[in-house]
């Protein structure tokens, strides 16, 4: 990949490339008509001490994300979501500013610890899980390592209503007042996969507030149900990794509003 050096940044190298995707296989003309098209964009940055070194041996920043044709609001959501995935405060200024700040942090760290032989890493990408004329499901996947005992991995989901041009919230698909019942169903599934009976307190081994199970807002709409994901350290210690709770539509059909983007799966 060709690298373009920018004098204003000095230590950074940027590159971008794009490739047009082809439309997915049409399974149902009514559901998949007018499927969105997009191109992937890449931003790759290396520290100034990477000359002659492979990426695995130097500090790098890598971003990969889709840019949808004629979808300004969706594209802004994609870029903003990716930039703020790991560090909301630093990422709010955008991907390029975040990259510059990350490299500056690396330089400052090296000055304070000149004998340290490791490298920083920032890697973020947006995967398209599903996309058609009514629904886009996005997975934001980020990893950051800044010299500590371990790196930090984060996954966030965005469900996008194409026709309404906005992010889909749980309240957009649930009937009013059904949140408590959804949570109760989710807790039963969680306890089963954790091998916990109904009386086992959650305050002992989990980080739920006040020891009460709660669903977060990090969910993905799938053809089979709602997939909730808890990131590392969100409800368990770091070593336990991520936790997924899949709630099938078969168990929550009566809780869902009619005529929403999930209706075709019921």
For residue 57 the two structure tokens come to 């041996």
Last residue of some domain: 103, 138, 167? 167
Q: pLDDT grade, residue 56 (50/70/90)?
A: confident
User: How many domains does the structure of the chain reveal?
Assistant: 2
Looking at the structure, do residues 126 and 205 belong to the same domain, yes or no?
no
Last residue of some domain: 167, 182, 210? 167
Q: Which domain holds residue 207?
A: 170-265
Q: pLDDT grade, residue 34 (50/70/90)?
A: low
Higher pLDDT, 55 or 75: 75
User: DSSP letters of 96-133?
Assistant: HHHHHHHHHHHHHHHHH-TT-----EEEEEEEEEEE-S
Looking at the structure, do residues 55 and 181 belong to the same domain, yes or no?
no
pLDDT in tens, 165-200: 999 999 999 999 999 999 999 999 999 999 999 999
Examine the pLDDT at 12 and tell me if it is beyond 70: no
Looking at the structure, do residues 138 and 220 belong to the same domain, yes or no?
no
Nearest by Cα to 238 from 150, 155, 137, 160: 150
Residues 154-161 have a mean pLDDT of 98
The pLDDT, as a whole number, for residue 17 is 40
How far apart, in whole angstroms, are the C-alpha atoms of residue 260 and residue 159?
A: 12
Examine the pLDDT at 246 and tell me if it is beyond 50: yes
Looking at the structure, do residues 63 and 153 belong to the same domain, yes or no?
yes
Looking at the structure, do residues 84 and 184 belong to the same domain, yes or no?
no
pLDDT in tens, 119-146: 999 999 999 999 888 999 999 999 999 9
Looking at the structure, do residues 65 and 80 belong to the same domain, yes or no?
yes
Taking each continuous run of H as one helix and of E as one strand, the counts in the chain are 7, 11
Looking at the structure, do residues 57 and 150 belong to the same domain, yes or no?
yes
Examine the pLDDT at 25 and tell me if it is beyond 60: no
Looking at the structure, do residues 227 and 251 belong to the same domain, yes or no?
yes
Looking at the structure, do residues 175 and 151 belong to the same domain, yes or no?
no
Q: What is the CATH number of the domain that holds 149?
A: 3.30.565.40
Q: Indicate the DSSP class of residue 8.
A: T
The pLDDT, as a whole number, for residue 132 is 84
Q: What is the CATH number of the domain that holds 214?
A: 3.90.640.20
Q: Contact, 45 vs 34, CB < 8 A?
A: no
The pLDDT, as a whole number, for residue 51 is 87
Looking at the structure, do residues 121 and 188 belong to the same domain, yes or no?
no
Last residue of some domain: 146, 167, 188? 167
Looking at the structure, do residues 177 and 143 belong to the same domain, yes or no?
no
C-alpha to C-alpha distances, 8 to 13, 93, 108, 150, 218, nearest whole angstrom = 11, 17, 18, 32, 38
Looking at the structure, do residues 146 and 14 belong to the same domain, yes or no?
yes
SS3 12: coil
């Amino acid at each position: 990949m060709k690298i373009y050096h920018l004098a204003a940044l000095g230590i950074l190298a940027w590159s971008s490339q794009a490739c047009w995707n082809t439309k997915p296989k049409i399974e149902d003309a009514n559901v998949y008509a007018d499927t969105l098209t997009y191109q992937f964009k890449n931003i790759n940055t290396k520290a100034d001490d990477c000359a002659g070194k492979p990426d695995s041996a130097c500090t790098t920043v890598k971003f990969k994300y889709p840019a949808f044709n004629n979808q300004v609001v969706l594209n802004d959501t994609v870029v903003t979501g990716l930039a703020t995935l790991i560090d909301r405060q630093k990422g709010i200024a955008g991907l390029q500013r975040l990259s510059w700040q990350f490299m500056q942090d690396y330089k400052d760290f090296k000055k304070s610890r000149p004998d340290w032989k490791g490298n920083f890493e920032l890697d973020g990408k947006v995967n398209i899980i599903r996309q058609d004329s009514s629904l886009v499901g996005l997975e934001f996947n980020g990893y950051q390592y800044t010299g500590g005992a371990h790196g930090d991995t984060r996954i966030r989901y965005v469900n996008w209503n194409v026709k309404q041009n906005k992010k889909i919230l749980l309240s957009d698909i649930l009937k009013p007042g059904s949140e408590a019942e959804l949570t109760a169903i989710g807790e039963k599934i969680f306890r089963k996969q954790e091998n916990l009976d109904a009386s086992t307190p959650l305050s002992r081994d989990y980080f739920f507030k006040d020891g009460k199970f709660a669903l977060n807002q990090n969910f993905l709409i799938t053809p089979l149900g709602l997939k909730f994901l808890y990131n590392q350290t969100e409800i368990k210690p770091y070593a336990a990794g991520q936790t997924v709770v899949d709630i099938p539509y078969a168990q929550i059909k009566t809780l869902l509003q009619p005529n929403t983007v999930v209706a075709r799966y019921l």
